[in-house]
Homo-oligomer: A and B are copies of this chain.
């Protein structure tokens, strides 16, 4: 970290900055280059950030050289992390297909969806038992009963299950019935939830917040990694949009960017990322072409009967037609040097 002093910073104010840095054992070193006074500080961001240099009257600006995350950084972990989920490998090459309904509604709906996606090549089953809904009057999921249905149906068709936990009190049940804990976009910075989920050692699928920077996202991953749990899977799902023609703006550039900055696997959810089923196939293909390690897709046996997000669900036949395209594109792009 460098602290750049103001052009005519009085020496008293300069001393104040140096003193604070010395007390914090940051080894400040003052240099003058071309008339500008600069103070270099030693130490990781976590230490240097402990002093609010930006609030000192003599300081013009602070230049940070390191990312605020370490465990998530590719700089310190060169090889791709592969998260294994009951035999399926996510990351490090290959393509993971996670599919299923937005919400578990009943056993028949879930079984129909699960069989269809399994047959078309899905590797994991998704489905919500606890549903975050904008309005308290909307369908909010079956809760524990939904978890049990997921476990039963997943075992029956032979697919590990991914499902969301919305609160620290739900973690134990989700771990009991599912193989992967999903942290939703609204909870990306729910730090107690991240830590509680992390401590279970279960794989964590971490969706990006819809107004979160890539740095904030990797810091959220760092909360999980910092509990000792290395099984983190990132998932882009669209940013807040000023154009209401789509529900969100799917930011695919974050795929190659996150893969450069981090060693963690990166998935994409084009269903929430667009909110419109007719755009989902094109964006799923684009996600794989951008280098994603897999996609998360909402598939419902009868979208016009879905209790949530009906507008964005694929029909089983649409999913089956899409899967071979994704595999073909993955074959072209994987191993391309520019991806990392």
**Chain A interface (Cβ < 8 Å from any Cβ of B):** 2, 4, 16, 20, 27, 29, 31, 33-34, 36, 38, 40-42, 44-46, 49-50, 52, 54-57, 60-61, 63, 65, 68-69, 132-140, 166-170, 186-187, 189-193, 210-211, 213-216, 219, 222-223, 226, 239-246, 249-257, 260, 273-274, 277-279, 281-283, 285-291, 303-308, 310-311, 313, 318, 322, 325, 328-329, 332-333, 336, 338-339
Contacts and interface: CB of A to CB of B under 8 A. Distances in A.
A182 to B, nearest CB: 15
Nearest to A302: B55
Given A253-B250, A304-B56, A245 B213 contact: yes
A307 B46 CA distance: 12
Contacts of A222: 135-136
Nearest to A194: B136
- Which residue among A223, A304, A336 has the maximum number of chain B CB atoms within 10 Å of its CB? A304
Instruction: Across the A-B interface, give the 7 residue pairs with the lowest CB-CB distance, nearest first.
Output: A52-B310, A46-B137, A211-B211, A289-B289, A55-B310, A33-B40, A167-B192
Contact of A40 (B36, B168, B191): B36
B338 A278 contact: yes
Given A190-B187, A290-B285, A310-B55, A245 B274 contact: no
How many copies of this chain are found per oligomer?
Answer: 4
Given A29-B34, A138-B49, A191 B256 contact: no
- Which residue among A55, A193, A287 has the maximum number of chain B CB atoms within 10 Å of its CB? A55
A290 B279 CA distance: 9
Contacts of A4: 63, 65
A140 B219 CA distance: 14
Given A36-B40, A283-B252, A241 B242 contact: yes
Contacts of A193: 167
Contacts of A308: 52
A257 B246 contact: yes
